[in-house]
Amino acid sequence: MTRGQVPEDQEDPRAAQPSGPDASVLADRLKERIYATITMIAVVVGLSFSDAGATGAFATVLTTAFGLWLAALVADQQAHRTVHRHLATGRELRRMLYVSSPLLSCAVGPAVMIGLAALDALSLSAALLTAAGIGVVSLFAWGCAGGLRLGGGVLLALLAGLLDAAIGVAVALVKASAGH
């Protein structure tokens, strides 16, 4: 057997890697999704204590998501230019856009909830707090998924999910206390 080969009776650890996009691309994309979710939780909790109205809340959510995305894209392009001595184009630019796209999609849930409030299906405050709750639940789900991927079983997965959800709640509490 040569160096780097895996004996036939042992499983190749690389076989567990996801197919399709590179695992580091998927990890970077998930990092952006989680970062955007935590940020949006803070934004909607802050808005729930304001008198922004549905139009103002909608505009704030959209501009926050767009601002996050644009800042990430500018930072990625600047870092790429500094390290590689050229602008990212082609495949490199598509990777940046793919990785940063969750920063835009984080506005969908809150925008839908604000739209429901604008249609008088529920109060704006309830819509914003529901959007924050959905964000916390998504953090819990990602934590559980990560815990399961670690292979520690359901208990570890639930613990990881609760820890991630607690971080989301902590962000919301900090935002609520800082704003008032």
Q: At what angle do helices 90-100 and 23-48 cross, to 10 degrees?
A: 40
pLDDT at position 109? 94
Q: Where are the domains of the chain?
A: 25-179
3-class SS at 34? helix
pLDDT at position 180? 52
pLDDT tens for the 180 residues of the chain, in order: 454 454 554 544 444 555 566 888 888 988 899 889 998 998 999 898 888 899 999 999 999 999 999 999 999 999 999 999 988 889 999 999 999 999 999 999 999 999 999 999 999 999 999 999 999 999 999 999 988 988 878 999 999 999 999 988 888 788 777 765
pLDDT at position 16? 52
Count Cβ neighbours within 10 Å for each residue of 60-88 and write b for 16 or more, e otherwise: bbeebbeebbeebbeebeeebeeeeeeeb
pLDDT at position 15? 47
